[in-house]
Structure 1
Amino acid sequence: MTVLAATDLTVRTTDGVVLLDEVSLSIERGETVLVAGQSGSAKTMLTKAIGGLLASRSNLETSGSVTRPEDVGYLFQNPTTQLVRRTVRHDVAFALENQGVPRAAMERRIEQWADRLDAERFLDRNVDELSRGETAIVALLGSLVTEPDLVVLDEPLAPLDYPNRRLVLDAIETLQGLGSTLLITEHDVRDLLASTDRIVVLDDGRVADRGTPAETIDRLRRIGVNLPFATEVALERGLPTSSVPLTTVPEDNP
């Protein structure tokens, strides 16, 4: 079942500068699709266009079509912008309160998702005490409690150190294990390459390639996306892409 279908999405300024050029993509239920590209390739612009979040930008014009589910969960590139309350538990409850979910059901939902993400220890903390990675987990938790049909994560690993990066990666792996449908954008795919179903390579606002990780690995390398160390070594040695490892060896971890 197709969860998201975007066709010929184009974003241009009112002066005629094209920022996103006829981008099409689709995601099936339970898939993880990675939009990979260098910084400035319009990855964030794509996620906002998909979510209909550019309507208030009077200097931008959007064309093309998007069919998306009613409930889409987001983890923005700067997750601190998603937190609206002082304590984590109250912040996570915000979307459920807006939906009119009864208090008892709300608490059950929060506890359930906090348990799934191993985030119970954050619930009674103040949001200003959280690390960047912990903030990302809390912002993600606030989206997941509404049980969205699609989760969009925009550059979720940047600029995290390894412990915080591991927090977010564990959450992504948990969601994949639960069968969630994920759209992830990243310029550093070292820890995502092996667990991604399909990749859309974005370069200067255009789709430069698409396919499985093995099918797109050459293009990813050419445009300068960060690849696993073992992948880079194998490509340097001229191995065929079908034989190239897609995971980061332990020594490559910070």
Structure 2
Amino acid sequence: MITLEDVTCRYGAHDRGEDDGDAIDDSVLAVDDVTLSVPDGEFLVVAGANGSGKTTLVRTFNGLVRPDSGTVSVNGTPVSEDLVAARAAVGMTFQDPRDQLVSATVGGDVAFGPENLGLPREEIDRRVEAALDAVDMAGRGDDRITTLSGGERQRVAIAGALAMEPDHLVCDEPFTGLDEPARESVLTRLRERHAGGTGVVVVTHDLRDVVGFADRVVGLDDGRIVVDGPPSEAVPTLSDIGVRVPAGFDAAGDDHAGRSDEP
């Protein structure tokens, strides 16, 4: 379980005025007093337009961003008290996998997290093999990262997160820049992990790929939650905050048209 209580995050400076000592706040409010719970095993979509605060919000889940106020807990323990446990329990992939792929080879990158946990070599190898198999890249541990397509890099990033054997897998805009076959491949991997009991959180400005698989949709606007509920209740309101929704998605939650690439 991931739990946020009254979480606020700001970016920028908090300075004192030079002349009269008045406080000058040049910061940007990215997340504004958010309270949220993410149960184990849930497929959650966090939706919002660019700049809505959704990336900042999910990065508080495992301490990549530390809130200015409020508390984030994972499995009952505040993230600030045990970052290692939080990052083992909450795996995360970034919008651009190049921001997190740190090794020259596929196997080396997937092994990076387990190695940092200090696990025995045999256990690391087991996890790497299982994670690569889970993303349909078994036997490609020696491939160079530089030779991979965008979709393959995204799958390696997911494998790296899975090698930590997390309770929750958080993917930030996992379909950006991918063609249709690559999107389908990544989505299949996420659905399989969810079916296997892993909680999945997808962060997106475009619901067309994932809304049919979501248990719940949280809509974010200007750092605040504006809707939180099942897709049938949440989706009809999301186009008003700049989120793409499937054409033909009605109030009953049916996506009659399927995925469309029309704006």
The two structures have a TM-score, normalised by structure 1, of: 0.86
Compare 184-193 and 89-98 and name the one that shifted more: 89-98
Runs of 4+ off more than 4 Å: none
Compare 30-39 and 155-164 and name the one that shifted more: 155-164
Structure 1 residues 195 and 247, CA, compared in 2 at 3 Å: closer, same or farther? Answer: farther
Q: What is the root-mean-square deviation in Å for CA atoms of aligned residues?
A: 1.9
- Of 71, 78, 85, the residue aligned with 2:96 is 78
| Offset from partner CA, 1:96-117 (integer Å, 9 cap, x none) | 2222222222222221222222
Q: Does 1:249 align with 2:258?
A: yes
Contact kept, 8 Å, 1:191 with 1:247, in 2: the verdict is no
Give the Cα–Cα distance (whole angstroms) in 1 for the partners of residues 261 and 244 of structure 2. Answer: 13
Shift in Å, 1:151: 1.4
Contact kept, 8 Å, 2:135 with 2:156, in 1: the verdict is no
Shift in Å, 1:6: 0.5
Give the Cα–Cα distance (whole angstroms) in 1 for the partners of residues 225 and 174 of structure 2. Answer: 21
The count of corresponding residues between Structure 1 and Structure 2 is: 237
Q: Does 1:67 align with 2:73?
A: yes
Contact kept, 8 Å, 1:29 with 1:181, in 2: the verdict is yes
2:154 corresponding residue in structure 1: 136
Q: Does 1:53 align with 2:51?
A: no
Give the Cα–Cα distance (whole angstroms) in 1 for the partners of residues 168 and 213 of structure 2. Answer: 17
Shift in Å, 1:49: 2.5
| Offset from partner CA, 1:141-170 (integer Å, 9 cap, x none) | 111112012211111111222122122111
Contact kept, 8 Å, 1:49 with 1:62, in 2: the verdict is no
**Which runs of 5 or more residues in structure 2 are unaligned?**
15-24, 76-84
**Secondary structure of the corresponding residue to residue 108 of structure 2:** helix
Give the Cα–Cα distance (whole angstroms) in 1 for the partners of residues 140 and 7 of structure 2. Answer: 38
**Which runs of 5 or more residues in structure 1 are unaligned?**
56-60, 236-240
Shift in Å, 1:248: 5.0
| Offset from partner CA, 1:214-234 (integer Å, 9 cap, x none) | 011221122231112232xxx
Shift in Å, 1:192: 0.7
- Of 25, 28, 47, the residue aligned with 2:36 is 25
Contact kept, 8 Å, 2:247 with 2:255, in 1: the verdict is no
Q: Does 1:37 align with 2:48?
A: yes
2:2 corresponding residue in structure 1: 4
Shift in Å, 1:38: 0.9
| Offset from partner CA, 1:112-146 (integer Å, 9 cap, x none) | 22222212154221001111111111011111112
1:155 corresponding residue in structure 2: 173
1:187 corresponding residue in structure 2: 205
Q: Does 1:100 align with 2:118?
A: yes
Structure 1 residues 247 and 195, CA, compared in 2 at 3 Å: closer, same or farther? Answer: farther
**Secondary structure of the corresponding residue to residue 230 of structure 1:** coil
- Of 224, 228, 231, the residue aligned with 1:206 is 224
Give the Cα–Cα distance (whole angstroms) in 2 for the partners of residues 179 and 248 of structure 1. Answer: 29
Q: Which has the higher helix share?
A: 1
Give the Cα–Cα distance (whole angstroms) in 1 for the partners of residues 256 and 115 of structure 2. Answer: 41
Give the Cα–Cα distance (whole angstroms) in 1 for the partners of residues 10 and 116 of structure 2. Answer: 33
Give the Cα–Cα distance (whole angstroms) in 1 for the partners of residues 117 and 248 of structure 2. Answer: 47
**Secondary structure of the corresponding residue to residue 128 of structure 2:** helix
The two structures have a TM-score, normalised by structure 2, of: 0.84
